[in-house]
Structure 1
């Protein structure tokens, strides 16, 4: 008998039926010789990589939120400073109606109180009538004052 011959009567057809499927994408192995290689993955490695990616992404988002909060804190500080400066200017002697967007000068008198003027320190020349120049300010549309220039620590009113 020739060994290369296949005896078709000895083929178990029920066993061969188990080797085929209607849904080849659902089996755990390649269903024919031309299929892509299917290699089982280590579940712990997959989960570990997913967790590392999750922490990386959430850390980035938390850093972004932290930076946004820092920006908001800085803006709130600047706004508080503007309110403090504005209170000091509105307590000063103002003998004119300030115009929004115009620049004015705050001086300290010899008596210790403040005065707002339209005259810059350079325009006074040698006849400077006040004890000190405090700040160059601009009236904003919300009627707070922006400090453009300051001779001292005026920002920390």
Structure 2
């Protein structure tokens, strides 16, 4: 019969194809050892988790800023005022005797009312906080 020795790489379909294989086929070839990938995977997981944590912290901070802006805008838009605000002008919010908030052009140092904050209207019709009661005291 046509029996080949064990150390010969032979295939019925491809013949002697040792030079085409991606691994060593002779006894004298270097030993194939699988690398320990646990450490590499652990480092990779740690690094990726750090990236996700940082991104989540950024998004959380951005969300908190957005909610703070929303809160102030809602407060100003719900306040009483009998004029059309001008973009770029600074307005001051006070608490009236009846407990409602109102806007005025009079700065807090010229009026003896409960001051809440100063705001400026930007071109997007969004109120920007200039100062608040806690910042001015």
Distance of aligned partners of 1:99 and 1:53 in 2 relative to their CA distance in 1, 3 Å threshold? farther
Q: CA deviation at 1:116?
A: 1.0
Corresponding position of 2:120: 138
Structure 1 segment 1-157 matched on structure 2, within 5 A = 26=24, 29=28, 40=31, 43=34, 46-47=35-36, 50-122=37-109, 124=110, 128-130=111-113, 132-152=114-134
Larger Rg: 1
TM-score normalised to the size of structure 1?
0.59
Higher relative CO (CA 8 A, sep ≥ 6), structure 1 or 2? 1
RMSD: 3.0
Q: Distance in 2 between matches of 1:77 and 1:135?
A: 19
Distance of aligned partners of 1:129 and 1:93 in 2 relative to their CA distance in 1, 3 Å threshold? farther
Mark the runs of 5 or more structure 1 residues left unpaired by the alignment.
Answer: 1-17, 31-37
Map Cα deviations across residues 25-44 of structure 1 (whole Å, 9 max, x no partner). 956647xxxxxxx5x4754x
Q: Distance in 2 between matches of 1:83 and 1:61?
A: 33
Contact 1:83 1:144 in 2 (8 A): no
Distance of aligned partners of 1:109 and 1:63 in 2 relative to their CA distance in 1, 3 Å threshold? same
Q: How many pairs align? A: 118
